Amino acid sequence: MKIAFIGLGIMGSRMAANLLKNGADLTVFNRSKAPVEALVAQGAKSAPTANEAVKDADIVFSMLSTPEVVEYVFMSEGGVLSAMPSNAIWVDCTTVNPSFSASEKAAADKVGIRFIDAPVAGTLPHAQNAELVFFTGGEASLLAEVEPYLNHMGKKVLHIGETGKGASFKMLVNIMLAQSMIIFSEAVLLGEKMGMEKDFLLNALPGLVVSAPFTKFKAEMVRSGEYDVQFPLEWMHKDLHLAAISAYEMNQPLYLANVAKELFAEANKKGMGRLDFAAIHKYLEER
């Protein structure tokens, strides 16, 4: 199988590296060149354009930033979809909204490309250590064709349902993630105001049965005040925006996630977009 990987940011560069470690015949493309050079040094082939990268591919993985970027790179006239061999498979791992996944499938169908939505749970270390969890949407028989490769990049592949269901489930995970981080931050900040030591709060709160387990790791960022990016705050804002779109499309009120969205919007506007999303604590602390 010839594999192409488009989008080598924080996640994509590490996912592609794990394909290489497992012996994949891999061609990569990224807008900026540094991550391409790093992967070529590890044995990948590179191509001057995304269209060149996919021209012989059996499977194309993408890990881009937003639906707008996926649309531009893959679905615009003369975009990547038009360059893929007929009957090849496009696996989009970008976090997008489910109605956008449906439009990806429609665009793929038009040119005889088979499509799977496969967003991931996990962040930088999980991508690095092939410990991601894939939430997939699409036909089971199609998933079976790509699953061996997903298993090289992750520890679990969940088939949630038809096209868009991977994206739908990922959306639920991220609205919980965003709000849990804010809830944790508010508890720490109030605790400090009530005279409790910050270290005590950061040690004790994550272990409670009411706490989201991931706050144990984010507590270390809060303790050090260093928010080196794993999951960029700007993409958490994007994901809450996409959840709001989906809620509108479903005619389903989404109260607290929209409050969270506006807090992430303000933090992003204050220049925190390329810090880890846990920097929402820094934003609330300074507010």
Ligand X SMILES: NC(=O)c1ccc[n+]([C@@H]2O[C@H](COP(=O)([O-])OP(=O)(O)OC[C@H]3O[C@@H](n4cnc5c(N)ncnc54)[C@H](OP(=O)(O)O)[C@@H]3O)[C@@H](O)[C@H]2O)c1
Residues that bind ligand X (CB under 6 A): 7-12, 30-32, 63-65, 69, 73, 94-95, 120, 123-124, 230-232, 235, 239
**What is residue 115's three-state secondary structure?**
strand
The minimum distance between CB 251 and ligand X, in angstroms, equals: 25
**CA geometry: angle 4, 76, 261, nearest 5 deg:** 90
CB-nearer residue toward ligand X: 108 or 127: 127
CB-nearer residue toward ligand X: 171 or 201: 171
The minimum distance between CB 198 and ligand X, in angstroms, equals: 25
The minimum distance between CB 212 and ligand X, in angstroms, equals: 16
Task: Provide the sign of the torsion angle of the four alpha carbons 201, 202, 204, 208, taken in this order.
Answer: positive
CB neighbours of 252 closer than 8 A, spacing ≥ 6?
Answer: none
Q: What is the dihedral of CA 196, 198, 203, 207, to 10 degrees?
A: 70
Distances (CA, A) of 29 to 50, 59, 61, 254: 6, 14, 11, 37
The minimum distance between CB 273 and ligand X, in angstroms, equals: 10
CB-closest chain residue to ligand X: 9
CB-nearer residue toward ligand X: 13 or 185: 13
CB-nearer residue toward ligand X: 92 or 107: 92
The minimum distance between CB 8 and ligand X, in angstroms, equals: 5
**How buried is 52 (Cβ within 10 angstroms: 0-12 exposed, 13-18 middle, 19+ buried)?**
middle
CB-nearer residue toward ligand X: 52 or 192: 52
